[in-house]
Structure 1
Amino acid sequence: MANRYIRRTEVEDLTGLSRSTIYRMMDAGQFPRPIRLTQKAVGWKETDIAAWLESRPVAA
């Protein structure tokens, strides 16, 4: 199955995180880094985001 790349706004919607939180967590090594798609565009592997979400604790 081909891996789908998703843009930042979709990552924000899926995770509930803001842009600044995503980048702060990336700098701390706590969030997957995006892949450069073009000279100006980046995207995250959908599977990386899904795995990150699965690794998060679930609220009781």
Structure 2
Amino acid sequence: MGVILMQQTLIRLPEVQRRTGYSKAWIYRLISQHRFPVPVKIGTCAITFIESEVDAWINQRIIESRGEVA
């Protein structure tokens, strides 16, 4: 049985760094701690991130910083 995925936009690490303000090392640390969206491997040495997952992660940080519960 196959998996059906909706169309997603993939973004590269430099764009993730720009959006979050985090360094590459910090993003990888958060990923290893299961606190950041897992990247998608698109080649032997290339990864991307699903834009909607990164946006949702950013929005959650905003909600938490405002003391709101999602």
**Fold agreement, TM-score > 0.5:** yes
Highest RCO, 1 vs 2 (Cα 8 Å, sep ≥ 6): 1
Consecutive unaligned residues of structure 1, counting only runs of 5 or more, are none
| Identity within the alignment, % | 32
- Counterpart position of 1:34: 39
Structure 1 Cα separation of the partners of residues 47 and 59 of structure 2: 23
| Alpha-carbon distance, 1:29 to partner | 0.8
Cα shift at 1:40: 1.5
Matched, 1:45 2:50: yes
* TM value normalised by structure 1: 0.88
State how many pairs are aligned: 59
Scaled by the length of structure 2, what TM-score is found? 0.77
Higher CA-based Rg:
2
List runs of 5+ in structure 2 lacking aligned partners.
1-5
Q: CA RMSD in A?
A: 1.4
Per-residue Cα deviation, 1:8-36 (whole angstroms, up to 9, x for no partner): 10000011111111001111111011001
Q: Which 4+ stretches in 1 moved above 2 angstroms?
A: none
